[in-house]
C-alpha cells in the first residue's frame, strides 16, 4: 500500500477514535443510587470523582448516638436526584472497572454538594478538587463533622474505632500521635473534630 494512502487511513482512524471518545464523553440519564458516592446510569456503574462517602454499612456517631452514616448519605443522594436527569463527565476508570466521573443534576456538581453538606469527604489522595468544600463543612460542623467517624478509606481497611473521651475531656485513640490543629500526620489527615492523628506514638504532625 502506498505510504500516502496508509497515512490517510491512519489519520482517518485516529479521527474516528477521537470522535467516538467525544461521543461517549458524557453519560446522561436517570440514575439509581448504589451508595453515597456511586450511581448507575443505563447499567453503567459510576463512581463520583474526587470524593469518598461512608460505606453502606458504616456507622458514625453524633450527639452521643450511633447512626448509619453510609445509609444516610445514600438516601440523601437518592432524594437529591429523584427522577431528574443526571449528566456525568468521565475522568477515569477505577480498579473495579467503574467509570469515575464528575456528575451533575442541572448545573450542580453532586460531589461538591455531598462534601459541602458533610455527607462525604474530599478524597485528597486522588484529587484536591473538593478540599474547599470539605473545609467549609468542617468549619460548619455539617454532617459527619457534627460528631465522630472513621474516614471511609480507613473503614475499608478494617478500622472501626474512632476517638474516645479521655480523662481530661479531650479525645484520644488507642494508638495515636500528637493532637494537631491542622496539617497531616505521616500522610494521614487528622480527621476527628479534635483532629487526633491516627498514627502510633513517635510520628509528628506538620503543625500543632
Q: For residue range 23-57, list pLDDT tens digits in order.
A: 458 999 999 999 999 999 999 999 999 999 999 99
Q: Sign of the CA dihedral 37, 160, 191, 197?
A: negative
Print the domain residue range for 190.
163-208
Residue 129: per-residue pLDDT = 97
The answer to whether residue 38 is domain-embedded is yes
Same domain, 21 and 65: yes
Which CATH number characterizes residue 124's domain? 2.40.50.90
Same domain, 88 and 130: yes
What percentage of the chain reaches a pLDDT higher than 90? Answer: 63
Q: Which residues pair with 124 in a beta bridge?
A: none
Residue 159 clears pLDDT 60, i.e. is over it: yes
The answer to whether residue 155 is domain-embedded is no
Lowest mean pLDDT among 38-42, 43-47, 110-114, 179-183: 179-183
Residue 19: per-residue pLDDT = 40
Q: What is the pLDDT of residues 119-134, one digit of tens each?
A: 999 999 999 999 999 9
Same domain, 105 and 59: yes
Same domain, 111 and 29: yes
Same domain, 92 and 9: yes
Averaged pLDDT of the chain: 78
The answer to whether residue 154 is domain-embedded is no
Cell of 114: 455531598
Look at strands 99-105 and 44-48 and give their pairing: parallel
Residue 87 clears pLDDT 70, i.e. is over it: yes
Residue 184 clears pLDDT 50, i.e. is over it: no
Give the count of domains, the chain. Answer: 2
Q: Answer yes or no: are the C-beta atoms of 69 and 54 closer than 8 Å.
A: yes
Same domain, 182 and 119: no
Q: Model pTM?
A: 0.69
The answer to whether residue 14 is domain-embedded is yes
Same domain, 172 and 135: no
Same domain, 42 and 109: yes
**Residue 1's pLDDT band (cuts 50, 70, 90):** low
Amino acid at each position: 500500500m502506498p505510504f500516502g494512502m496508509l497515512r490517510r487511513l491512519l489519520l482517518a482512524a485516529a479521527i474516528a477514535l477521537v470522535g467516538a471518545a467525544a461521543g461517549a464523553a458524557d453519560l446522561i440519564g436517570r440514575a439509581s443510587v448504589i451508595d453515597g458516592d456511586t450511581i448507575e446510569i443505563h447499567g453503567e456503574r459510576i463512581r463520583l470523582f474526587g470524593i469518598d462517602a461512608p460505606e453502606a454499612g458504616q456507622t458514625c456517631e453524633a450527639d452521643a448516638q450511633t447512626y448509619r452514616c453510609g445509609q444516610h448519605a445514600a438516601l440523601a443522594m437518592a432524594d437529591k436526584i429523584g427522577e431528574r436527569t443526571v449528566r456525568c463527565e468521565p475522568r477515569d476508570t477505577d480498579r473495579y472497572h467503574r467509570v469515575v466521573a464528575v456528575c451533575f443534576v442541572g448545573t450542580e456538581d453532586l460531589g461538591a454538594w455531598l462534601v459541602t453538606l458533610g455527607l462525604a469527604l474530599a478524597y485528597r489522595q486522588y484529587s484536591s478538587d473538593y478540599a474547599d468544600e470539605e473545609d467549609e463543612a468542617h468549619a460548619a460542623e455539617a454532617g459527619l463533622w457534627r460528631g465522630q467517624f472513621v474516614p471511609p478509606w480507613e473503614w475499608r481497611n478494617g478500622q472501626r474505632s474512632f476517638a474516645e473521651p479521655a480523662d481530661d475531656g479531650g479525645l484520644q485513640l488507642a494508638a495515636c500521635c500528637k493532637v494537631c490543629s491542622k496539617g497531616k500526620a505521616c500522610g494521614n489527615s487528622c480527621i476527628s473534630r479534635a483532629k487526633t492523628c491516627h498514627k502510633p506514638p513517635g510520628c509528628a504532625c506538620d503543625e500543632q
